[in-house]
Amino acid sequence: MESSYTVADFYEKKFNSRNYLETYYLNHFSQPAIDKLLSFALEKLVKTFSSGPKFRTLLEIGCGPCLHLSLCASEHVEEIVLSDFLSNNRQEIELWLKNDPGAFDWSPITKAVCELEGNRGKWAEKEKKLRDSIKQVVKCDVHQSNPLDPVELEPVDCVMTSYCLEVACKDKAAYHTTLRNVTSLLKPGGVLIMIGVLNETFYMINDQKFPCVTFDQAFLEQTLTEVGYEIEQLEIALNPNKSVDTLADFDASFFLVARKK
């Protein structure tokens, strides 16, 4: 994979959005490693949004075909823009927004989020609120200086991203550059919420392997500082299943909140 275009081309050819959803989100409760990873993210997101200020605008970078991050944010944000590179991922989101019968069913995870928020039984209202909050679903290429080009957005209050940059980049230099590109979409004093993995070399969808750029906590912290952030929260959850996990080989997952200087 010699360039960012090779990474993009590889994903265009090999990434199946529905297979990804069925692998990581359909039966997550029956898969301990995935359930632990997802539960960690949902718990930290709900706590962060419920204890912090409300945002007027939030942009999710590299949402994939997924809505769980936005479900956690929906009660605390006025307007949400979702973005992803792959058209198939964006189409999955659009199906859900239109209540299409063929859309992926997010209700089990919506109910889990409601449970964490103490609003058991209000999952249908939450999904309606999210549909009302999402204003755009746009293409995103983190290797561009304006990742949303040709769309021009006013700098947003919050940028959120999960398991995106590490799979979009071929090396650490590219990771540094893409994080800087993403940061340009955030207003000064705005908040970055990032979920990712440390020391991962691959993840699987069925029998297809997808490579990742490998980095540790020290590199992550240094890169954020160099790009212009002050880290406010960084929590690490070790992967106790690494030796037996066939879906991915990460050492730990992380949840990070940082503020743009």
For the chain, 261 residues long, give each residue's pLDDT as a single digit of tens. Answer: 334 446 888 999 999 999 999 999 987 665 666 778 899 999 999 999 999 889 999 999 999 999 999 999 999 999 999 999 999 999 999 999 999 999 999 999 999 999 999 988 789 999 999 999 999 999 999 999 999 999 999 999 999 999 999 999 999 999 999 999 999 999 999 999 999 999 999 999 999 999 999 999 999 999 999 999 999 999 999 987 776 678 899 999 999 999 999
Question: The domain 4-260: what is its CATH number?
Answer: 3.40.50.150
Q: Where are the domains of the chain?
A: 4-260
pTM: 0.93
Contact between 232 and 194 (Cβ < 8 Å): no
Write the pLDDT tens digit of every residue in 75-103. 999 999 999 999 999 999 999 999 999 99
